[in-house]
Copies of this chain bind each other. A is one copy, B any other.
Amino acid sequence: MYTFANPLDRALRTVPDACAVVCNGHRRSYAELAFRCRKLAGALYGLGLRRGDRVGVVSLNSDRYLELYLTVPAAGLTLVPVNSRLAVAEMQAILADSGASVVFTDADYAGASNVSRVLSLPGDYEQLIAGAPERALGESVSEGDVAVLFYTSGTTGVAKGAIHTHRSLVTSGLHFMATWPFDAQTRWLVASPMFHTGGTIGMLATVWAGGTHVMMPSFKPDIALDLIEAEAVTHTLLVPTMLAATVTEQEARPRGIGSLRYLSHGASPIASETLRRTHATFPAAELLHVYGTTEATPIATLLPHEERVIGTPMDRSCGQPAIGVELRITDKAGNELRAGQVGEIVVRSPSLMSGYWNKPAETREAIDDHGWYHTGDLGYQDAWGWLYLVDRAKDMIVSGGENIYSTEVENALAAHPSVSEAAVFGVPDDRWGERVFAIVVTRQQVTQDELILHCRDHIAGFKVPRQIEMRTDPLPKSAAGKVLKRDLRDPHWTGRHLKVAGS
């Protein structure tokens, strides 16, 4: 009985004149926003779209992206936000898998036209809105309808669309609000990319409360601080890389940041030193650590008032299960483990995805018969439910808030004729949390630069190895012939610990 139409409807009825969004200095009230959303809904049906059809978006953050979020699901359609940093081939695969018949984009993603009708932002978009009739939002929409497909890669290297219904996303917003207050005075800085669940985490909460979105098309620390000062930003979510850069900028050229009371971060490992500097630089802000995954929308655990535990062993924790979320540590047989024992982190909540788009086998593997989602992450909880992440079962690297599956990168390397074997893993990186590191066994002469150029043709830039170590001897293997990747990786991590992964 919750739909995406509810938050906007409430804002429209309670704070119609309040500023809903400011983007590049342009402001729109909730009344204007809702009017444009109704016109957009009319335009989408005017394009011939029908209930259940998918609408892709490849774009930087913008007020129009917000309109697409608030319109497409509420009009009975499904939004497919695509990571704009992906290689064209990767985008094509996602748009093809989702079956998006239309894609809105602010750049020249010509490749997308293979599968979808491409409409430009803002050109085609504004023209459509100008000419369209209004269409009511939320009518004949059920809370179990598919609202958004968030694509995530996986161990197989094939992108999977995590199905989020109206209910799962709206519920996730409520879970966030049950921990952090949002009201009509909230000004949420949209700093993280809106194609990730993390970038949308505060959106529904902000709309429901009638607060203001302060849009950053793409992240720059100096612009973030300028906006915090100029727009009196109260809340935001940053990935640790952004956080560290913002702290450095504020140390060098301080702005007035007293309005910022709620500063959350997630999606990547974070160093204690970054936390310490963040608290010193933003002393009035409550720090909140968020751990979750695309499948868990993306709040699984929260650590409110993280500033209170800096310098203690608890600053390596991801916090306790969020209100509304059940979390367990289980062994391979699915039995719950005791405090202190390391096992797989599993999660259950109405905020969970309902499965992977058109992938029943992968869905059954990810969500068991009792509704538990298997994150693939390994960790333990103490006697008070504080979660400590130990490792990722899924062989995933998290760099600057982006998930990178080693298999994807290994496949790209192995496709080069000079490479006979490849092992890819993350190594510690002060700026990005982790960076992609590869060890390749070559069968003939090849340079690191040649391999990197080769990778760029196949996978997104952020997935390309930053360093490649060349070998001619075979990689160490188990008796069963499996590469002992941990033996290769562990020397790089001596004395370092992983704080958090996900999103």
Contact = CB atoms under 8 A, between A and B. Distances in A.
A74 to B, nearest CB: 14
Contact of A178 (B9, B14, B177, B320): B177
Contacts of A324: 2, 6, 174, 208
A350 interface: yes
Q: Which of A174, A178, A350 counts the most B-chain CB atoms under 10 A from its CB?
A: A178
A385 B13 contact: yes
Contacts of A16: 383-384
A371 B348 CA distance: 28
A175 B321 CA distance: 19
A12 to B, nearest CB: 9
Contacts of A371: 1
A323 B385 contact: no
Interface in A346-390: 348-350, 371, 381, 383-385
Given A1-B348, A1-B349, A14 B384 contact: yes
A7 B304 CA distance: 18
Nearest to A177: B178
A457 interface: no
A27 interface: no
Q: Sort chain A's interface into a size bin.
A: 20 to 34
Contacts of A15: 384
A181 interface: yes
Interface in A135-149: none
Interface string A326-355: 100000000000000000000011100000
A209 B2 contact: no
Contacts of A384: 13-16
A381 to B, nearest CB: 8
Q: Chain copies in the assembly?
A: 2
Interface string A175-199: 1011001110000000000000000
A320 B183 CA distance: 12
Contact of A208 (B13, B178, B385): B178
A285 to B, nearest CB: 16
Nearest to A2: B350
A323 B181 contact: no
A10 interface: yes
Contacts of A381: 13
A304 B181 CA distance: 12
A78 to B, nearest CB: 21
Contacts of A182: 178
Interface in A437-481: none
Nearest to A339: B13
Contact of A323 (B1, B208, B326, B348): B208
A9 B10 CA distance: 32
Interface string A277-294: 000000000000000000
Given A9-B326, A174-B324, A323-B208, A385 B14 contact: yes
Contacts of A323: 10, 174, 177, 208-209
Nearest to A323: B208
Q: Which of A9, A208, A323, A381 counts the most B-chain CB atoms under 10 A from its CB?
A: A323
Interface in A100-126: none
B321 A13 contact: yes
A106 B358 CA distance: 57
Interface in A1-43: 1-2, 6, 9-10, 13-16
A182 B324 CA distance: 13
Contact of A321 (B10, B178, B321): B10
Contacts of A175: 174
Contacts of A209: 323
Given A14-B385, A16-B384, 6 more contacts: A1-B348, A10-B321, A14-B321, A174-B323, A208-B323, A209-B323
9 contacts: A6-B326, A10-B326, A13-B321, A174-B323, A174-B324, A177-B177, A177-B178, A178-B208, A209-B323
Q: Which 7 A-B pairs have the closest CB atoms?
A: A177-B178, A14-B385, A13-B385, A1-B350, A14-B320, A174-B174, A208-B323
